[in-house]
Chains A and B, each alone.
Chain A
Amino acid sequence: QQPVQSPQAVILREGEDAVINCSSSKALYSVHWYRQKHGEAPVFLMILLKGGEQKGHEKISASFNEKKQQSSLYLTASQLSYSGTYFCGTEIRVFGNEKLTFGTGTRLTIIP
Chain B
Amino acid sequence: DAGVTQSPTHLIKTRGQQVTLRCSPKSGHDTVSWYQQALGQGPQFIFQYYEEEERQRGNFPDRFSGHQFPNYSSELNVNALLLGDSALYLCASSWGVGSYEQYFGPGTRLTVT
A103 CB-CB contact with B under 8 Å:
yes
Q: Could you tell me the dominant secondary structure of chain B's interface residues?
A: loop
Most buried by A among B43, B100, B104, B107: B43
* CB-based contact A99/B42 at 8 Å: no
Identify the stretch in A11-19, A65-73, A76-84, A90-98 within 8 Å (CB) of chain B at 4 or more residues: A90-98
Residues of A within 8 A of B (CB): 2, 29-30, 32, 34, 40-44, 47, 49, 87, 91, 93, 96-105
Residues of B within 8 A of A (CB): 4, 33, 35, 40-45, 48, 55-56, 58, 90, 97-107
Sample 13 A-B pairs with CB under 8 A, ordered by A number: A29-B99, A40-B106, A41-B104, A41-B105, A44-B101, A47-B100, A87-B43, A91-B99, A96-B56, A98-B98, A99-B45, A99-B56, A102-B42
